[in-house]
C-alpha cells in the first residue's frame, strides 16, 4: 500500500518537473533574454553576443518579446564591443576593430529622436547624430564616472 502511494507521488513529481521545464523553456526568451545572448540597454538599444567574440550594439524598435535577434548596428560594423556602460540616457562602450589590438571609445545619446526607419537611412540619418567617438581611454573613463553609468 505504502509503495503504491510512493510510486504515485514520485510519478506526479516527475510529471510536474517535466511540465515546469517545458514552461521554463517556452518562456525563456521573455523571462531570461540573456540566455539568448540579448541584453536590453533601454530605449530599444540592445547588446548582442557576437559570433566573432565580444558583443555588438544594435537598435531594434521591434524586438521579439524582450529578446533582440537583429537590428541596425550602433557599434561600428566589424568591431567587437569589449566594454559597455549605460543608463536611461547614455551608452558608453569600448570596441575593438577586427585584426587590431587597439580600442576605440564611443558614447551614444539615447535621447536622440527615436523613429522607425528603413535600412538605407539607418546610419546616415539616425545613428551618426547619436554616436560620438571619444578621443581616448581617459575621456571614456571620465564619462562613465561623471554620468554614473552601470556596467553590463
Q: Is 18 helix (H, G, I), strand (E, B) or coil?
A: helix
Q: pTM of the full predicted structure?
A: 0.67
Which portions of the chain are predicted below pLDDT 70? 1, 23-36, 52, 64-67, 69, 113-129
Identify which of 84, 105, 78 has the alpha carbon closest to the alpha carbon of residue 34. 84
Q: Residue 61's pLDDT is what?
A: 78
pLDDT value for 115: 52
* pLDDT value at residue 86: 93
CA count, 13 A, side-chain hemisphere, 61:
10
Q: How far apart are CA 47 and CA 77, in angstroms?
A: 13
Residue 67 gets which letter from DSSP? B
d(CA 71, CA 48): 10
Amino acid at each position: 500500500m505504502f509503495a503504491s502511494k510512493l510510486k504515485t507521488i514520485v510519478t506526479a513529481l516527475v510529471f510536474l518537473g517535466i511540465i515546469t521545464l517545458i514552461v521554463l523553456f517556452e518562456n525563456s526568451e521573455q523571462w531570461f533574454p540573456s540566455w539568448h545572448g540579448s541584453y536590453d540597454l533601454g530605449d530599444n538599444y540592445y547588446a548582442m553576443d557576437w559570433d566573432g567574440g565580444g558583443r555588438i550594439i544594435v537598435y531594434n524598435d521591434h524586438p521579439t518579446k524582450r529578446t533582440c535577434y537583429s537590428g541596425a548596428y550602433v557599434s561600428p560594423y566589424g568591431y567587437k564591443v569589449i566594454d559597455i556602460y549605460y543608463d536611461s540616457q547614455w551608452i558608453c562602450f569600448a570596441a575593438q576593430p577586427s585584426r587590431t589590438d587597439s580600442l576605440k571609445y564611443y558614447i551614444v545619446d539615447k535621447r536622440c529622436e527615436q523613429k522607425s526607419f528603413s535600412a538605407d537611412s539607418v546610419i546616415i540619418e539616425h545613428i551618426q547624430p547619436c554616436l560620438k567617438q571619444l578621443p581616448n581611454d581617459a575621456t571614456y573613463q571620465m564619462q562613465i564616472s561623471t554620468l554614473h553609468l552601470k556596467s553590463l
